[in-house]
Amino acid sequence: FNIKVVYKLLWHLLKCHREELGDASTAALMYLLVDDGSSASGSLKLSDVLVQKNSFVGGFSLNTECLTSQYSNGPPTLARQNIRNTHGVSTVLRLLRFLSPDKKERWLFDFLALILASPNGVNMILACDDWQPCLFQLVAEVIEEINGDRDDSGNDENAAKD
């Protein structure tokens, strides 16, 4: 498989199920993006997550216990983490425009914390092909929202004067 194709498929899956994304999904994506310097962050294998179960259609099941056990004391602090996966960063950046405002805000603050924690984080994000159009889109949405709020408040004031 081409790695870009795999991440494109991941993006489509996340986009289609964006309403169901919760804390476990965010933790899994963060795990995909960062290296916290511990031996556990690089030790997860696909065979640990996918287990064969002949009773299921397709014969496999997801084993989330291995991820839960790694973070049983809570996720590691962002201060020790470095971005390690530019394809994952691109996937999340492209997903941002489709997320709810609170999820979008959480991811933007997480990216900012990762950049502040490690100067190498800036270089990793800049290495992504998608960072400029994605962040430009977010800035454009914020400007439209600000202008819309200003227009709405201006119309309310004009209506009150009439």
Q: Which parts of the chain fold into alpha helices (H)? A: 3-16, 23-33, 46-49, 65-70, 86-96, 101-117, 120-126, 131-161
User: Angle 101-117/23-33 helices, nearest 10 degrees?
Assistant: 30
3-class SS at 34?
Answer: strand
pLDDT per residue as tens digits for the range 105-142: 888 888 888 888 777 888 888 888 888 888 898 889 88
Q: What is the pTM of this model?
A: 0.65
DSSP letters spanning 45-83: -HHHHEEE-TTSTTSEEE--HHHHHHTTT-PPPGGG-EE
At 6 the pLDDT is: 85
At 41 the pLDDT is: 46
Going by pLDDT thresholds of 50, 70 and 90, the confidence category of residue 23 is confident
Average pLDDT of the chain to the nearest whole number? 75
At 50 the pLDDT is: 57
Question: What's the mean pLDDT in 18-36?
Answer: 82
Can you tell me the distance from the alpha carbon of 53 to that of 5, in angstroms, rounded to the nearest whole number?
A: 27
Can you tell me the distance from the alpha carbon of 109 to that of 122, in angstroms, rounded to the nearest whole number?
A: 14
Question: What's the mean pLDDT in 136-150?
Answer: 85
Going by pLDDT thresholds of 50, 70 and 90, the confidence category of residue 70 is low
At 39 the pLDDT is: 46
Closest Cα partner for 77 from 20, 30, 28, 14?
30
Going by pLDDT thresholds of 50, 70 and 90, the confidence category of residue 22 is confident
